[in-house]
Structure 1
Amino acid sequence: MDTQGLYLTTRERKILQQSLHADLRSEWRRRIEIMLLADTGKTQTQICKAVGCSQETARYWIMMLQIGQAHKWNDSSIGRPKVVSDEYVNRLKVLVCQSPRDYGYSNGRWTAQWLRTQLAQEFDIQVSNYHITRLLKSMGLSMRKLSSSTLNHF
């Protein structure tokens, strides 16, 4: 029978070990490995060397282990939170196919500033002009291409 670690019960450890066998994102795998190593008494420095993580990451997941929250290894999001939703992007697609004059703008061509302003009014989400440009680029468009002939093919 498996002996109990410093923080995890035998059952908790078994669940984490089984989770390692699944097809996991590398960040989630690292979280589990950190907690399993900490449970065996490894120091933060030893864990960082073994897993290849930062001191901050190791410290956070060791603390989660210590407060009994090891089961939350896949609850926390990874990376920067997504600001815009799919609905936002879809609305951007619709807007670029319409005239800015329909929305009270003076010019017949959209600018990143006007798209950003219109979407901010509709979604109460503030993004930069650069982000609008990046979203358009991900759709295969650019501010230069926003002409009626391009949009008819969109």
Structure 2
Amino acid sequence: MEILWWQILLLTIYAGYQILDDLQFNIFGHPVFAGIISGLIMGDITTGLIIGGGMQLTILGVGTFGGASRIDANSGTVLAVAFSVALGMNPQQALATLAVPVASLMIQTDILARFTNTFFAHRIDAKIEKMDYKGIERNFLYGAIPWALSRAIPVFLALV
């Protein structure tokens, strides 16, 4: 089975959204939900639940404090589900060979997103000195863009 253009688009949009949800409400920011949503998009919810549940167990005891980066289990889940369904892989095999390594590599994009956010933080500092409240709000929202792109671009490139 081939991954269709609309599946690539939806998975990319979800990959960008899930990190924003993870930073705010954290409803759909868990690997189990990433597996369910990816499974729905790819047409195999069972595979999505198996891979998402496995990744959820992988990060169950991980707590990151003080701004430390952790593996991006959601992006790993999205890509593992997509390739598992498209290539007909065993979900356990996809979990071990795709989800965990991809999640580990995505730490680098997390660090890059955090680094680029300092640009907006400095702009906010300048807006505070000028008491430009609209500028503060605008730059605060702009800070979400690097977070979303740090997940969406690698997922898109992997799926294309």
Return the TM-score normalized by structure 2: 0.27
Larger Rg: 1 or 2?
Answer: 1
Higher RCO (CA 8 Å, separation ≥ 6 residues): 2
Return the TM-score normalized by structure 1: 0.28
